[in-house]
């Protein structure tokens, strides 16, 4: 049954980035030195640009010496440039962007989205962090990881 659903999902016409007003939601797992559950939302501002907002929750908090809830939860803001119209794809989008995690961590990232049907798809994201919080306690309790990989599901809202 699952194979039949996947077959028809791949055969259907998938929606990609619709420009201004486009809404997409992602949920996934981010891996690196530490593991995070990640969820974010993306809102289209123009034909190529969107703004995102997300949350991260640290899953292996004992390894990171993070005991307080505030040390486990992260908030992220990002801007993304959508390339789907430039590559003329009707099911696949590539996003290049900049992100900022509250507390001082900044990153450049690349996201690939593959829509399986009109409402759901798969995504992968690679982050490379180039700035970290200047607080001593951040680096004391957590050894920073410059590159992380995130994979998960994307949902489109109409």
pLDDT tens digits along 88-135? 788 899 999 999 988 778 899 999 999 998 889 999 999 998 876 655
Return d(Cα 3, Cα 17) in angstroms, integer.
27
CA 156 to the chain's CA centroid: 14
Q: Could you tell me which residue, 140 or 78, shows the higher pLDDT? A: 78
pLDDT bracket for residue 10 (50, 70, 90): very low
123: containing domain = 2-157
CA 31 to the chain's CA centroid: 12
84: CATH: 2.40.160.20
User: Is a pLDDT exceeding 50 seen at residue 12?
Assistant: no
Task: Give the H or E element holding residue 156.
Answer: strand 147-157
Among 47-61, 83-97, 140-154, name the one with the lowest average pLDDT.
140-154
In the numeric block, which tokens belong to residue 73?
A: 């939860």
What local confidence, expressed as pLDDT, does residue 11 receive? 42
What local confidence, expressed as pLDDT, does residue 13 receive? 46
What local confidence, expressed as pLDDT, does residue 103 receive? 72
For the chain, give the percent of residues with pLDDT over 70: 78
What's the mean pLDDT in 25-44?
93
């Amino acid at each position: 049954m699952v194979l039949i659903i996947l077959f028809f999902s791949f055969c259907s016409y998938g929606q990609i980035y619709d420009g201004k007003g486009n809404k997409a939601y992602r949920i996934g797992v981010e891996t690196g030195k530490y593991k995070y559950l990640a969820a974010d939302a993306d809102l289209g501002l123009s034909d190529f640009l969107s703004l995102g907002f997300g949350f991260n929750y640290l899953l292996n908090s004992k390894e990171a010496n993070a005991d307080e809830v505030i040390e486990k939860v992260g908030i992220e803001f990002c801007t993304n440039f959508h390339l789907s119209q430039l590559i003329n794809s009707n099911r696949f989008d590539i996003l290049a962007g900049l992100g900022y995690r509250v507390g001082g961590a900044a990153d450049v990232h690349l996201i690939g989205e593959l829509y399986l049907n009109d409402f759901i798809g798969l995504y992968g994201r690679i982050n490379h962090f180039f700035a970290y919080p200047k607080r001593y306690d951040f680096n004391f309790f957590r050894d920073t990881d410059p590159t992380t990989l995130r994979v998960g599901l994307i949902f489109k809202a109409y």
